[in-house]
Amino acid sequence: MANRYAVVTGAGSGVGRAVATALLRDGYSVALAGRRQDALEETAQLAGGNGNALVVPTDVSKEDDVLALFERIKTTFGRLDVLFNNAGTGSPATNFGDVTFEQWRAVIDVNIHGMFLCANAAFRIMRDQAPQGGRIINNGSLSAHVPRPGSAPYTTSKHAVTGLTKCIGLDGRNYDIVSSQVDIGNAATPMTARMAKGVLQPNGEMAIEPTMDAANVGKTVLMIANMSLDANVQFVTVMASKMPSYLGRG
């Protein structure tokens, strides 16, 4: 289990920070990618500042940034075993008829284009290295299954992640590259802080929703990352136990 190398996008906060911390504490060398260097450095310190963290400021929606990130990984680590493809964004709840193209594009550029760019670059490294192989773990969402009201850009992007995950797994078989998708529901992060004040429900009411510790996602991704490449968890859901509007009706 020595000399394991990973990259986490969106590693400066929330789920990305939880996953990066779990991997670093388990002995991985981890490239921390995100837009804010200070936040990435804070993640490295929270994991113990053990010297296994490589901070690489990156905007995943920009191809040049992504290519530079993975070139840095090649030159510093020499190989790549795990990508947690996590960076994502949302938009304010907006009825579909009022969604602007700018709102749509801002989400799609990160959640689809950024995820493609990172997975594509990681796939090439994993295919071309010796020994071949690696694991690409995409951050999906419960929105890959069911939408919230007014969430067309985000929900569309997360449905697309499912297709991407399946294609990576199929095309990666000959190279021992496997793909997984972690569908997360209400992890307590800055992105879900609004839930403490109430979230619009399908029946038009506002309701406060329960959340869970994001460390649970870190534990889940670490479990998948540490599996041998002859086994895989293709899809897994990690969610707050009592969150509404997923199990049952409502």
- Is-catalytic flag, 154? yes
Cα–Cα distance between 45 and 50 in angstroms, integer?
Answer: 8
Cα–Cα distance between 150 and 48 in angstroms, integer?
Answer: 40
**Annotated active-site residue in 5, 28, 154, 246:** 154
Give me the residue label for tokens 């304010």. Answer: 92
Cα–Cα distance between 169 and 137 in angstroms, integer?
Answer: 10
The single-letter code of the amino acid at 34 is G
Distance of CA 111 to the CA centre of its chain: 9
Give me the residue label for tokens 């490589």. Answer: 54
Instruction: Name every residue whose Cβ is closer than 8 Å to that of residue 43 and which is 6 or more positions away in sequence.
Output: 11, 12, 13, 16, 17, 20, 21, 32, 53
Q: Please state, in angstroms and as integers, the Cα–Cα distance from residue 203 to each residue in 149, 180, 200, following that order.
A: 9, 33, 8
Give me the residue label for tokens 């067309």. Answer: 152
Cα pseudo-dihedral 250, 142, 190, 27, rounded to 10: 140
Sign of the dihedral defined by the CA atoms of residues 47, 48, 49, 54, in that order: negative
Cα pseudo-dihedral 38, 112, 143, 11, rounded to 10: -20
Catalytic residues: 154
